[in-house]
Amino acid sequence: MITTYNSLGFVNTRAMFQVALKNSFAVPAYNFNNMEQLQAIVMACLETQSPVILQVSKGAREYADRTLLRYMAQGAVEMMKRIAREKNLGEIPIALHLDHGDSFELCKSCVESGFSSVMIDGSHLPYDENVALTKRVVDYAHQYDVTVEGELGILAGVEEDVKAENHSFTRPEEVADFLRQTGVDSLAIAIGTSHGAYKFKPGQKPMIRLDILHEIEKRIPGFPIVLHGSSSVPQAAVEIINKYGGKLNGSIGIPEDQLREAARSAVCKINIDSDGRLVMTAKIREVFASKPEEFDPRKYLGPAREALKQMYISKNKNVLGSAGQAPAILAVIK
């Protein structure tokens, strides 16, 4: 039996991206695999009235159990609605998205269990195979009005099962043909972002190739573009981690002003995972060091959740520009 995403209270990404293009912002796509992350994401987005894409990777599905994770996301929608009523806030649109789907079967399983959006990542395949796999997923997902993200170009870095030593930038001359042949709803591109906390070598100037982005935009005007690997690796968090026994050497992220510029363009979705991991780890290490007598997980996970929430609030307001955009999206959906 298929569970439709709208019966769970999710929306797909179509209206989100339409409004993001019109109003020049990017929808946050934040990964989660546990309760505190999910609460922080949803509360930050509700308080800033931002749309949000809850991202679940294959690894997260394995870690938290795919059934539990889906019910957690569904519970987050119900929590959002209740708190919106209690605090007299507007509701926000929430999408549930599979991050880096690596097979048709995985995408199908997510569509059938209530995801409103899936990514099929065939970027490591030869072009024609990427086209064929992506088209197969699109043809299936669109029957249920689930939106699909494809990828062209390879990001460097390590993200759970997704590993690449070197990146290869998206070739602007391929994008229009890829969209035409596959029918995808959005396209992830490689312009120098990468997964993880080590995006540039020490001494290297952190810079993404906005020139390639603009060239791609010219070839597919008005089409939603996605940036993966967009953590900024806050140095304050890295310093706290290292101060309290951590060992992160030379971790560098994407400067927030470059992401802000990308968000003003056709980039409609920005993926952020590592920053949350760093902020959470920094706070937990700090509590362990400053309150060694504590052993109740709520006493360190609670402060970590609050630190995460503040980080997401800042991203929505100052980087993605998504704060205050929820009502415009809901108006399109209704």
What residues act catalytically?
99
Q: How far is the CB of 281 from ligand 13P (least distance, A)?
A: 13
User: Would you tell me how many other CB atoms lie within 10 Å of the CB of residue 295?
Assistant: 9
- The stretch among 76-84, 266-274, 290-298, 326-334 that binds ligand 13P (CB under 6 A) is 266-274
30 phi and psi angles, rounded to 5 deg: -105, 130
Q: Which of 48, 74, 123, 271 binds ligand 13P (CB under 6 A)?
A: 271
- The stretch among 18-26, 38-46, 269-277, 297-305 that binds ligand 13P (CB under 6 A) is 269-277
Binding residues with ligand 13P: total (CB under 6 A) = 15
Q: Kind of pairing, strands 156-159 and 162-164?
A: antiparallel
Which residues within the stretch 78-107 sit at the binding site for ligand 13P (CB under 6 A)?
99-100
Tell which residue, 85, 94, 9, 6, has the closest CA to residue 44: 94
Token couple for 143: 């029957």
Beta bridge partners of 198: 252
Q: Which of 33, 37, 230, 258 binds ligand 13P (CB under 6 A)?
A: 230
How far apart are the C-alpha atoms of 228 and 53, rounded to whole Å? 13
How far apart are the C-alpha atoms of 28 and 46, rounded to whole Å? 12
How far apart are the C-alpha atoms of 191 and 227, rounded to whole Å? 8
Cβ burial 232-264 (10 Å sphere, 16+ → b, else e): bbbeebbebbeebebebeebbbbebebbbebbe
Residue 231 found at the interface with ligand 13P (CB under 6 A): yes
How far apart are the C-alpha atoms of 276 and 294, rounded to whole Å? 23
In the bound state with ligand 13P, the residue whose beta carbon lies nearer, of 42 and 287, is: 42
x-or-dash pattern for ligand 13P, window 2-41, by CB under 6 A?
-----------------------------x----------
x-or-dash pattern for ligand 13P, window 40-79, by CB under 6 A?
----------------------------------------
x-or-dash pattern for ligand 13P, window 189-228, by CB under 6 A?
------xx-------------------------------x
Site residues, ligand 13P (CB under 6 A): 31, 99-100, 159, 195-196, 228-231, 271-275
